[in-house]
Amino acid sequence: MVELIRLESIDKHFPGVHALKSVSFDLQAGEVHALMGENGAGKSTLMKTLSGIWQPDGGTIRVAGNEVTIPSPHAAQALGIGMIHQELALMNDLTVAQNIFIGREPRKRFWRLDEDALNQAAREIFSAMNVAIDPRAEVRTLSVAQQQMVEIAKSLSHKSRVLVMDEPTAALNDKEVSELFTIIHRLKSEGVGIVYISHKMDEIKRISDRVTIMRDGAYVGTVKASETPISKIISMMVGRELDNTETAIPDLSGAPTALEVHGLRRGKAVQDVSFSLKAGEILGFAGLMGAGRTEVARLIFGADRREAGDIIVHGKAVAIASPKDAVSAGIGYLSEDRKHLGLALGLDLTANVGLPNLARFSNGIGVVDDNKLTQIARDYIKQLSIRTPSERQEVQLLSGGNQQKVVLAKWLLRNCDILIFDEPTRGIDVGAKSEIYRLMQSLAQEGKAIIVISSELPEVLRLSHRIAVMCEGRLTGILPGGKETTQEEIMHLATQRREEMRGEAA
């Protein structure tokens, strides 16, 4: 096989962090080489040195056998290296086609933009991807999954020989994942080398040829995917045994009801949804993308205005017209988009924990007791095992799993009785997942009422005491959690409304 990339003894330091410790990695033409490790292991950092975003402090980079320096992403593209980032980097006010070909737009006479040629070039890429997206649509009108497909199309438009995919399926449904894998197989057959970063073990086994594992910024080892059991890969990643104990279903017959929702409605997104949640209960919400799960959470939290419906907290009807009202009622919401809706990325850990709780640390004239707030932040760093050099580290420099813990810390400090976790482990490795599960279970044992929205059925089954299933804005059923329910039963309810509509049409 032809070697496309070789990284040798790559070192990288950030303030207070030795992010990469003499790491080596290689990529062959026509292979998918998975890069795995817990959050903070250094995977994305290593690939950002390859794609020219960051410069290594030591080591060498070879492309097609030649030693090179890569001072910028543009230089990486010139070398045939493309990267699809975990965090989308599209311009919302431009069209899909303009995003794909930004800086490379076809022109007419007098330097006028050739919109027809631009849109046709984008259509050809989407046709090859078997994706139906209008090149003329503004990016802001697309779903997160569609935006992810645009990012992929953007990288493919450069005809890269090396393609780095960082958590490319985080926002995709099963059909979209299958389409992406079809694209990957085609690229492999054309000799493209793909670095695939993911925390999803089933994907790694399904798509990759080799797997390289990193831990704490260091290289652990490289194995063949087909010959290595998942348990071995996990052991190499975390360096410890994980707790895979399923949630025991408690007897909540005598527990008080913490939350009741009656007739919740907002257009077609949420249609007459009703359910209850007891103190100490974990209620999972399952369904396909677009089923309305997040929309229900946003209505309860006051992030969107409901058209109808009642919300009752601890037996009393509450008027929730804004997130401030929800927080006052004791409801906390951990958004699926923690970077944009859950954190102030440019602020440090202490500030993020304190933001919803500043009144607690104020002396009454608007001055915050910084020493007291700092000590609280240190307490939560210890309690939640947040991996950070200090409580003053900017949260944008933390890994995804540790960022999620910071979001959780601010709601725990607020002492919310009802917590809504929306995709709590998206983009988080298996070790951090296990820690988040354990935290949620301990919160339920303390009497917190918890809603968990997840697209991963094994996660819903493992965590939930009961499972509410939605399809096209409607609640189609509530099932028992744990071993009493199968993934097939959930999927039946998750597609029920579609089946009913087909029957009505017939």
Give me the tens of pLDDT residue by residue for the chain, a chain 506 residues long.
799 999 999 999 987 778 899 999 999 999 999 998 876 788 889 999 999 999 999 999 999 999 999 999 989 989 999 888 776 778 889 999 999 998 888 788 777 888 899 999 999 988 888 788 999 999 999 877 788 788 888 888 888 899 999 888 876 777 778 878 888 898 899 899 999 998 788 889 999 999 999 988 899 999 999 999 888 887 887 775 555 556 677 888 889 999 999 999 999 899 999 999 999 999 999 987 678 999 999 999 999 999 999 999 999 999 999 999 999 999 999 887 777 777 888 899 999 998 877 778 877 667 888 888 899 999 989 888 888 888 999 998 887 778 888 988 888 888 789 999 998 887 666 677 777 888 889 899 999 999 999 887 888 888 999 999 998 899 999 999 878 888 888 888 887 644 454 454 44
298 and 447 part of one domain: yes
**Which of 179, 208, 214 has its CA nearest to residue 28?**
208
pLDDT for position 103: 81
Radius of gyration of the chain measured on its C-alpha atoms: 24
What count of Cα atoms within 13 Å lies in the side-chain half-sphere of residue 16?
10
pLDDT for position 20: 94
199 and 266 part of one domain: no
Q: What is the pLDDT of residues 46-71, one digit of tens each?
A: 999 999 999 999 999 999 999 999 99
pLDDT for position 14: 83
231 and 266 part of one domain: no
pLDDT for position 505: 44
Whether residue 200 lies inside any domain: the answer is yes
Max alpha carbon distance in the chain (Å)?
77
pLDDT for position 230: 83
- Burial degree of 15 (CB within 10 A; 0-12, 13-18, 19+): exposed
pLDDT for position 135: 94
What count of Cα atoms within 13 Å lies in the side-chain half-sphere of residue 327?
14
Q: What is the pLDDT of residues 326-370, one digit of tens each?
A: 999 999 998 877 777 778 888 999 999 988 777 788 776 678 888
177 and 275 part of one domain: no
Residues 6+ apart with CB under 8 A from 247: 282, 441, 462, 463, 464, 465, 481, 482
Whether residue 400 lies inside any domain: the answer is no
Give, as one character, the DSSP assignment of residue 87: S
**Which of 57, 108, 61, 95 has its CA nearest to residue 81?**
61
Whether residue 475 lies inside any domain: the answer is yes
Whether residue 37 lies inside any domain: the answer is yes
Secondary structure of residue 182 in the 3-state scheme: helix
Domain boundary pick from 238, 271, 306: 238
Whether residue 293 lies inside any domain: the answer is yes
Q: What does each C-alpha distance from 362 to 63, 205, 409 come to in angstroms?
A: 56, 52, 19
Domain boundary pick from 183, 203, 238: 238
CB contact at 8 A, 289 and 472? no
Whether residue 339 lies inside any domain: the answer is no
Q: What is the CATH number of the domain that holds 426?
A: 3.40.50.300
User: CA 247, CA 230: separation in Å to the nearest integer?
Assistant: 22
Q: Domain of 495?
A: 257-330+416-505
pLDDT for position 203: 87
Pair of tokens at residue 302: 């006051």
pLDDT for position 272: 95
Whether residue 68 lies inside any domain: the answer is yes
231 and 320 part of one domain: no
User: CA 296, CA 145: separation in Å to the nearest integer?
Assistant: 19
218 and 271 part of one domain: no
46 and 93 part of one domain: yes
pLDDT for position 504: 47
User: CA 259, CA 182: separation in Å to the nearest integer?
Assistant: 44
Domain boundary pick from 205, 238, 271: 238
282 and 145 part of one domain: no
User: CA 142, CA 137: separation in Å to the nearest integer?
Assistant: 8
Give, as one character, the DSSP assignment of residue 464: -
216 and 267 part of one domain: no
Residues 6+ apart with CB under 8 A from 316: none
225 and 272 part of one domain: no
E-only strand ranges, 37-134: 58-63, 66-68, 81-84
Cα 218 to the center of its chain, rounded Å: 24
pLDDT for position 429: 65
**Cα–Cα–Cα angle for 213, 215, 218, rounded to 5 degrees:** 90
User: CA 24, CA 61: separation in Å to the nearest integer?
Assistant: 10
154 and 277 part of one domain: no
pLDDT for position 244: 58
Number of domains composing the chain: 2
Q: Which residue has the tokens 């988040």?
A: 436
What count of Cα atoms within 13 Å lies in the side-chain half-sphere of residue 128?
17
CA dihedral defined by 35, 36, 42, 47, rounded to 10 degrees?
A: 20
262 and 225 part of one domain: no
